Chain A
Amino acid sequence: MKKLIFMLFVTTIIITSLACDDQVNPKTDFRELYALNCVIKGDTSLQVATISRAYDVNGFDPLSNTADPFIKGAKIKLTYHGTGEVFFFRDTTLIRTDNSRYTSPMSYYYIKNFRPTYESPVSIEAVLPNGKVLSAKSTVLFISRFAIENRSYTIPSTTTGKYLGFSWTAATPSVKDEKIYYVPELIIKYAKIQGGTPIELQKKVPLYYISGENGEFPLYPSIQSNITSVNFDTLTIRRSLEEISAGDANKQNYIIRNAVFRLIITDKNLAVYYAAQKTFLDEFSVRVTQPEFTNINGGLGIFGTLNSTYINVPIKPEYIVKYGYKAF
């Protein structure tokens, strides 16, 4: 009997020790990398770039890093190949509105005299204080505001009561292998009177609302290269107008200005970067790597271009008044 008890005891000890976790380090040696981010915008002459470095933390919560990774002192050169012009960025800092992670002002770089005026390749090169070089190429794209079908748009729509539709002419870039990607937006501009002062705000209108287990949620147009029209449901526009003052009984505190239909275009690099960060595999599949796209040679980040055009869409005063709001 004693022998049996001893054997059971030994077996229990062995089994308990087998059940223990093995320690394994999910981390390897830190990888020093730098990220350059710059998106050239066609609707402004102020262009901005940032450079940050990779970091490591104790444990697995990257938010615990409080050492500002944005670096200054780099030399950034932008070449606009259409004219051969070369621009050099200046570095500066910005006081952060959110100091929850980093308390020091954010370092960034800018030029304020470059507004691209026609389609052309553009390139960037950054030489970091430690001599490391980051570079990338892209294409500045254009779309004429007249690409949007020239007709009278109003809210509510005068042509069909069910939706407000916009269409535009697809453009083909002259730069080889380039492609234009479109993101259409419908925005309602309004002001809310607070303390007698109107504060200008805007409300983005979704394509429609979808029913889900936690209530309805909005669905906005996604970035696509092969679309030339978009329709906004009238009921969705009405609901967006209602949501402007949701929970506020005093509707007269709201002044509805107008709506704007904006067509944003991007180059393919920015489109892929933007799309990749918005995708995930699915709920059940498990992937041990993450989507990551960069077109920066020697590092991470994105160098892309963005342009936009828009038309005003008046909202009829009698329609605004129906919601209890003030017009204009």
Chain B
Amino acid sequence: MLRGFVADSLTAEALPYANVLIKELNRGATTDSRGFFVMASLPNRRLTVVISYIGYRSKQFIVDVEPYIVTDLRALLSSTNIEMKTIEATGSRVAKENATDLSLQRIAMRDLENLPKGVELDIFRSLQTLPGVQTGGDVSARFYVRGSPSNENLVLLDNTTIYNPYHALGIFSAIDPDMISSMEFYKGGFPADYTHRLSSVLKVVTKDGNKNSFGGKAAISLLTAKLLLEGPIPSGSFIISGRKNYSDVILKKFRNNNSIPADFYDLFAKVNYSDNEFMQDAKFAVSFFKSGDKILNDNPRREDFTWDNSTFAFNYFQVSDSPLFYQLDLSYSTFNGEKIPNFSGAKGLKNELSDFTMRVDFNYVYDSKDELAGGFKITEVHTDLILENFRGQATNTSTRGVNVSAYAKYKILRSPIFGADIGARAHATRFAGGGSSVFIEPKTSFTLRFIPEVALKGSWGIYMQDIVTVSDENEVVSIFEPWIITPLYLDPSNAIHYIGGLEITPTSNLSFNIESYYKIMHNLAIVNDQKFFESDRDLISGSGKSYGIEFEMKYMFNPFRFSGSYAWMRAFKDVRGKVYSPRYDSRNNINLSLEAELGGGWVASAVWSYTSGLPFTQIAGYYDRLTIDQLSDNQFLLDSYNPFVLLGEINTGQLPDYHRLDLSLSKKIQINRLKMYIDLSVLNVYNRNNLFYFRRDNGERVNMLPFLPSVNFKVEL
């Protein structure tokens, strides 16, 4: 058995998704998000291992594989400055031969750094260029995946759930990209390892910090200033990063030049420890993340807002002498959000959530190359919600509950042309105190590679979600979405995914990917817009379905890298017997991106995005509405009427198409160890008036971002 760890030679930072190829056998593997790989059932002889990674020089290693002995390989790759010209995809096709990775996008941060950053490089906005991922517009980083609302996306930071990872009205992500090593994003059909959401999983893996020398980064944009420090400690490393906004000049552009008195920060710290004398072949990390936002008006007639996320995580990873590795994660995550109405007339809102989770996962590799994985997860969640809806009706809930689940899955990988992942997770759930229910989530996916250039893929699974947000789809901008455990009067939401795909890779630098999906959702928790009285329920049950097809093409030709995608989809919701398209049902999406390494540290890129118009509810007329100013006024029935808008059928209108071109030019300057990055971006180059919404009272257009130049500057030591 061969196992190994692939890392950067300078920092010893793990390199996720690096390609590992055994030359003599033409057999490959890919490192996981920890930079770790295992290859079992190898012949007992001397073998040549080639390890390659984009932006790094490939390296060749000679290893002797002996019976009953685990051969360890620690591969350190050297970064190259001229990145695109040294791309070597050696082994990547071999590694992917039978991988069951339908709907999975693995994203190393290096892949994102060359794209137009806009105001800030933002991980959620970068997802929105993927086919099947829809945005609510320039003014929100929230994302909608394959016709599902944003609260059905699971965001994990080092295996810890983050419940509201947004800054400043949801315009930016709260996760600073500089602290990220890699991301895995499942648009659907995710395996049994993941649970608690219906639609997608975004797994963010943070950096460990430089294990060899102390270093730091300082960066400034038109919105924030940030600092990152990293360095070695005995048998480990640390990383600390912090970011704080200092101006609302840019934020105004997101809100029709209206001021947003927003103040936000985020902070991340992580310590890693790995000492073979203390714990052989083990590594553990302790990390802390905190993000905080405030919108404070210096005026009692206006409402104030505060919200914050905090996480504390302990991750322990152990490799044993047999082809077995396992991981223990303990995490504590909180979210607190409050709208303080003061004397504004707005309605108050307070949401508190705490989540304590323990999960254990193991993975065993058989000699046949098949793998067995399993684990269990215990989650205790407590939610408090106090709110008044816009009709003045109050909700006050406090719920605590425990979810216990266990999963097992078997990966058939023995055949080079066929791979399958068959698994299931069983839940004893119903967070709400007093209630309980059992739910099974069976999941399976397969890959069949007819010929080396073509693979047919499929996936099916049932998914469950028992914690939901009380968020109203009619709000095109909402400050934060309050979370509650699914109330006892509703069954947990569930969804069935059917996904099929075709992967075609005619050459090593050209690939096509086609995926089609059909998703059925039951027991969706929908905000009750007919809650007129306190006794009326906050949530009602609805159902939905979505289907679509996605095409993606990637082509690399030095010094360019091109990717293009087209997605067609339909989404429907059925609430109280009324079927309608949700606000994020976008029929056609096109994303084109082109990057060019121009040499001398210059990188240029362009991204063009197109989305067909989103549904909206049209005006169907007006009526003079009785407006009671004072109940003691004897005459109000005769003289107190004001015009009021009558709305047509929900979301039967269509906004104009959205499209936008962004350009970016970056320059990297290196003087010894000092690296400087200057990035100039222009958003909406041709100043397209993309419509955000119509004001009901006067029909006024409210547009999204105008032509917006921006500059980022980063210094790295």
Interface residues, chain A, with chain B CB atoms under 8 Å away: 15-16, 18-33, 35, 37-39, 44, 48-50, 52-57, 59-63, 65, 69-70, 94, 96-98, 106, 108, 177, 183, 185, 187, 204, 210-213, 217, 219, 223, 262, 264, 266, 268, 270, 272-293, 300-302, 306, 308
Docked pose: A204 CA to B632 CA in angstroms? 11
Residue of B nearest to A56 (CB): B621
CB of B626 within 8 Å of the partner chain: yes
Instruction: With both chains docked as a complex, state the minimum distance between the C-beta of B262 and any C-beta of chain A, in angstroms.
Output: 9
Which of B298, B347, B701 touches A213 (beta carbons < 8 Å)? B298
Residue of A nearest to B695 (CB): A60
Residues of B in contact (CB 8 Å), total: 87
Q: With A19-B686, A22-B657, A31-B646 known to touch, is A283 a contact of B302 (CB < 8 Å)?
A: yes
Residues of B within 8 A of A270 (CB): 631
A213-B301, A280-B346 given. 17 additional CB < 8 A pairs?
Answer: A21-B701, A24-B653, A27-B620, A33-B623, A37-B626, A48-B638, A50-B626, A55-B622, A62-B622, A98-B639, A272-B391, A273-B628, A281-B475, A285-B478, A286-B477, A286-B693, A290-B696
Are B686 and A18 touching (Cβ within 8 A)?
A: yes
CB of B295 within 8 Å of the partner chain: yes
Are B619 and A60 touching (Cβ within 8 A)?
A: yes
Are B656 and A22 touching (Cβ within 8 A)?
A: yes
Residues of B within 8 A of A293 (CB): 391, 532
Q: With A16-B686, A37-B637, A293-B391 known to touch, is A24 a contact of B655 (CB < 8 Å)?
A: yes
Residues of A within 8 A of B691 (CB): 21-22, 24
Residues of B within 8 A of A98 (CB): 639
For the complex of A and B, the 8 pairs showing the least CB-CB separation, nearest first, are A60-B699, A22-B656, A62-B643, A275-B392, A31-B620, A28-B618, A28-B648, A62-B622
Docked pose: A262 CA to B698 CA in angstroms? 38
Are B654 and A288 touching (Cβ within 8 A)?
A: no
CB of B368 within 8 Å of the partner chain: no
Residues of A within 8 A of B652 (CB): 28
Q: With A60-B699, A62-B622, A284-B295 known to touch, is A24 a contact of B637 (CB < 8 Å)?
A: no
Instruction: With both chains docked as a complex, state the minimum distance between the C-beta of A188 and any C-beta of chain B, in angstroms.
Output: 14
CB of B363 within 8 Å of the partner chain: no
Instruction: With both chains docked as a complex, state the minimum distance between the C-beta of B686 and any C-beta of chain A, in angstroms.
Output: 4
Instruction: With both chains docked as a complex, state the minimum distance between the C-beta of A274 and any C-beta of chain B, in angstroms.
Output: 5
Are A50 and B627 touching (Cβ within 8 A)?
A: no
Residues of B within 8 A of A31 (CB): 620-621, 646, 648
Docked pose: A35 CA to B656 CA in angstroms? 33
Docked pose: A140 CA to B297 CA in angstroms? 43
Q: With A50-B637, A272-B391, A279-B392 known to touch, is A285 a contact of B477 (CB < 8 Å)?
A: yes
Within 8 A of A (CB), among B627-645: 627-628, 630-632, 634, 636-639, 641, 643-645
Residues of B within 8 A of A19 (CB): 686-689
CB of B390 within 8 Å of the partner chain: yes
Residues of A within 8 A of B472 (CB): 287
Which of B302, B618, B625, B688 touches A25 (beta carbons < 8 Å)? B618
Residues of A within 8 A of B298 (CB): 213
Q: With A59-B699, A98-B639, A210-B343 known to touch, is A288 a contact of B623 (CB < 8 Å)?
A: no
Sampled A-B contacts (30; CB under 8 Å): A21-B691, A26-B616, A26-B653, A27-B618, A28-B619, A28-B620, A28-B648, A28-B653, A35-B626, A38-B637, A49-B637, A53-B623, A62-B643, A63-B643, A98-B639, A106-B638, A183-B631, A187-B632, A210-B300, A213-B301, A264-B631, A266-B631, A274-B628, A276-B391, A278-B345, A279-B388, A284-B479, A285-B475, A289-B696, A301-B626
Residues of B within 8 A of A97 (CB): 639
Within 8 A of A (CB), among B460-477: 472, 474-477
Residue of B nearest to A46 (CB): B634
Q: With A279-B391, A285-B475 known to touch, is A69 a contact of B624 (CB < 8 Å)?
A: yes
Residue of A nearest to B262 (CB): A284
Q: With A28-B620, A54-B622, A283-B303 known to touch, is A185 a contact of B632 (CB < 8 Å)?
A: yes
